[in-house]
Amino acid sequence: MRQRAKPVVAIDGPAGSGKSTVARRVAEELGFTLVDTGAIYRCVALAASQRGIDWDDGPGLGKLAADLRIRFERAGLGGRIWLDDQEVTSAIRTPEVSQGASQVSAHPQVRQALLDTQRALGRDGGVVLEGRDIGTVVFADAEIKVFLDAPVAERARRRHAELEARGTPEPFEQTLQALTERDERDRGRQVAPLRAADDAHVLDTGPLSIDQVVEHIVAIAQERAAAGS
């Protein structure tokens, strides 16, 4: 493992487990950079849709992913996301693009094309990355690994409330079905399936508030810093 001045914090987990909100808050608390890897895959799905590339076309998606320019403003901390010259912060958060991101991320050509991009963003440490294979593949040498989970019904409830707050509501049953199907794809794919790393801290976020989850992860980071000082 290479020695970094500051650690890489890898936060993985299924859709609706609170990864995005938690990762943003942890990055703010620690003064680290946030890298939203899920947004990168969402950008690929959106670009494919705009350019007429089928989400099942692995080779075509891989070539597309390798050519895209994705940029986070303000290091992703509540800032905007740019796809080439297009600002896509809201466009990549629709239910349709969420499903597309799950589909395109299953293709090994896409994952390989984006692997170097993700590693380059976090290479020097002092970053929080969230996704589904950060602690198992992208940064298997991350100093701090956390896996967030919760029952699918609870995750669907959260996602349903989130969509309502954004003004894009959908029936709860539809949200639950979409999350269940996404879990099956993410956990069952042949390349980098969703799972907790052997050395990850596994947290059931069901009974916990966002504040409690953030406090727990920050405490892990602080304990590590104290042990290494």
Tokens read off for 180: 């269940």
What one-character DSSP code corresponds to residue 200?
A: -
Question: What does pTM read for this prediction?
Answer: 0.80
Strands (E), 27-163: 33-36, 70-72, 81-83, 86-87, 127-131, 144-149
143-189 per-position pLDDT tens digit: 999 999 999 999 999 999 988 998 888 999 999 999 999 899 889 88
Answer for the pair 191, 108: CB distance below 8 angstroms, yes or no. yes
Say which amino acid occupies 198.
Answer: D
> Per the CATH hierarchy, to which homologous superfamily does domain 8-218 belong?
P-loop containing nucleotide triphosphate hydrolases (3.40.50.300)
**112: region left, alpha or beta (phi > 0 left; psi from -120 to 50 alpha):** alpha
Q: What is the mean pLDDT of residues 45-66?
A: 97
Percent of the chain with pLDDT over 90: 63
- Indicate if the pLDDT at residue 213 is higher than 50: yes
- Listed by start position, the domains of the chain span 8-218
- Taking the C-alpha atoms of residue 213 and residue 67, their distance in angstroms, rounded to an integer, is 36
| Residue closest to 33 by CA, chosen among 121, 102, 147, 95 | 121
SS3 state of residue 72: strand
